[in-house]
């Protein structure tokens, strides 16, 4: 079959949809003809390095229908929050199956299939829903942290702490988190990761680092190497989004700090396993320094938090999503069976 995967990434929306679409497309390409279209700036092209066929970048929604017309896909897979309605209507023509792998989409009631890591959305009528963590799709650069590597980190007298607020961090919550974390009274090494889309000045981060003697602070611009950095830490301070899901798979305890993010609407089973670090919206994130101090003094709590992640995710969500779409495309309404030519 021919799969057209459409995703969107921007400074404001973040890069999670690009990473997830990339992982899905790589899996689907093992058995199908796949084309990927990103509504994004070409400066993110490196995220798709190594993909067979690469990725076509378009500047806005209007660039998607020509890609559909040129490729004649049997299936359109969407990883976007929204699409202009005329563009979305154009995708539905030709008897093709329309699937969302984004748990949130403006026209969700009109898609044929939803594949989501969360629970089935309450009150949603229209699509056939395949839900739960067995369908979780995330960055395939993420790998489980070996037990000996984690034990070395958790036993370090200077507690290594990762800090990550997403690939773009539009509101510069990296800086807000770091300003609080350096108030921890016990010595830590803070590994601050910023992504390709981080558009803020590094000077403010460096100013915080220069003003601190108790802690060590490393600021690392990462993309594919993000999980190599985080994988050497004992705990991660993360905002809502795919990075938290990836941390569960990697097996590093998470202090989750909420931000204004559509991902907060996704009701996923792993949320109960996270250490709650408050929210940036009401300044309750100010508690994260105290949480770090408590964990510093109680390394057993970190070991238990990691243990709780065991078996929650197996990394095969993309493969299961492809299998679901194959079944839906071949056993769905007759109008789609005729499109498989």
275 and 239 within one domain:
yes
Same domain, 180 and 301: yes
Strands 235-239 and 113-116, by their bridges, are unpaired
Domain range enclosing 173: 147-308
What is the predicted pLDDT for the residue at 337?
40
> What is the reported pLDDT for 335?
40
**pLDDT < 50: residue spans in the chain:** 334-339, 341
Specify whether 100 is located in the same domain as 231.
Answer: no
Instruction: Report the pLDDT value the prediction gives residue 89, as an integer from 0 to 100.
Output: 93
Q: How many CA atoms lie within 13 A of 91 on its CB side?
A: 28
Predicted local distance difference test score (pLDDT) of residue 339: 45
Q: Is 300 exposed, middle or buried, given 0-12, 13-18 or 19+ CB atoms closer than 10 A? A: exposed
Domain count, the chain: 2
Q: Does residue 112 share a domain with residue 221?
A: no
Residues 85 and 30 in one domain: yes
Same domain, yes or no: 59 and 163: no
CATH of the domain at 288: 3.40.50.2000
Q: Are residues 93 and 213 in the same domain?
A: no
Q: Tell whether 187 and 125 lie within a shared domain.
A: no
Residue 21 sits in a domain whose CATH number is 3.40.50.11190
C-beta atoms surrounding 329 within 10 Å: 21
Domain identity same for 82 and 105: yes
Distances (CA, A) of 2 to 72, 188, 325, 339: 8, 50, 12, 10
The pLDDT value given to residue 268:
80
Stated pTM of the model: 0.91
**How far is the C-alpha of 78 from the C-alpha of 111, rounded, in Å?**
9
Residue with the two structure tokens 């190594």: 50
Answer yes or no: do 207 and 168 share one domain.
yes
Asked if 249 and 296 sit in the same domain, the reply is: yes
How confident is the model at residue 333, as a pLDDT? 56
Strands (E), 273-336: 275-279
């Amino acid at each position: 079959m021919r799969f057209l995967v459409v995703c969107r990434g921007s400074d404001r929306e973040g890069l999670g949809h690009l990473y997830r679409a990339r992982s899905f497309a790589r899996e689907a390409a093992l058995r199908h003809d796949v084309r990927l279209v990103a509504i994004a700036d070409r400066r993110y092209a490196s995220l798709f390095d190594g993909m067979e066929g690469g990725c076509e970048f378009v500047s806005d929604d209007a660039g998607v229908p020509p890609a559909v017309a040129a490729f004649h896909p049997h299936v359109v897979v969407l990883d976007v929050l929204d699409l202009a309605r005329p563009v979305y209507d154009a995708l539905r023509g030709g008897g093709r199956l329309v699937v969302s792998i984004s748990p949130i989409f403006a026209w969700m009631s009109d898609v044929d299939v939803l594949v989501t890591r969360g629970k089935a959305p309450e009150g949603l009528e229209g699509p056939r829903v395949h839900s739960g963590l067995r369908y979780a799709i995330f960055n395939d650069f993420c790998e489980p942290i070996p037990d000996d590597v984690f034990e070395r980190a958790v036993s370090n007298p200077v507690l290594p702490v990762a800090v990550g607020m997403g690939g773009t961090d539009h509101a510069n919550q990296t800086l807000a988190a770091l300003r609080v974390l350096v108030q921890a009274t016990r010595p830590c090494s803070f590994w601050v990761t910023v992504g390709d889309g981080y558009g803020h000045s590094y000077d403010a981060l460096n100013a915080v680092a220069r003003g601190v003697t108790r802690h060590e602070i490393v600021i690392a611009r990462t993309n594919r190497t993000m999980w190599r950095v985080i994988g050497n830490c004992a705990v991660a301070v993360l905002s809502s989004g795919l990075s938290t899901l990836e941390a569960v798979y990697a097996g590093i305890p998470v202090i989750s700090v909420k931000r204004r993010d559509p991902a907060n609407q996704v009701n996923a089973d792993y949320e109960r396993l996270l250490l709650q670090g408050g929210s940036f919206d009401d300044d309750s994130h100010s508690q994260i320094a105290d949480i770090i101090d408590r964990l510093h003094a109680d390394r057993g709590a970190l070991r238990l938090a990691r243990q709780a992640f065991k078996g929650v995710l197996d990394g095969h969500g993309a493969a299961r999503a492809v299998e679901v779409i194959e079944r839906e495309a071949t056993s769905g309404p007759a109008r789609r069976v005729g499109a498989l030519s």
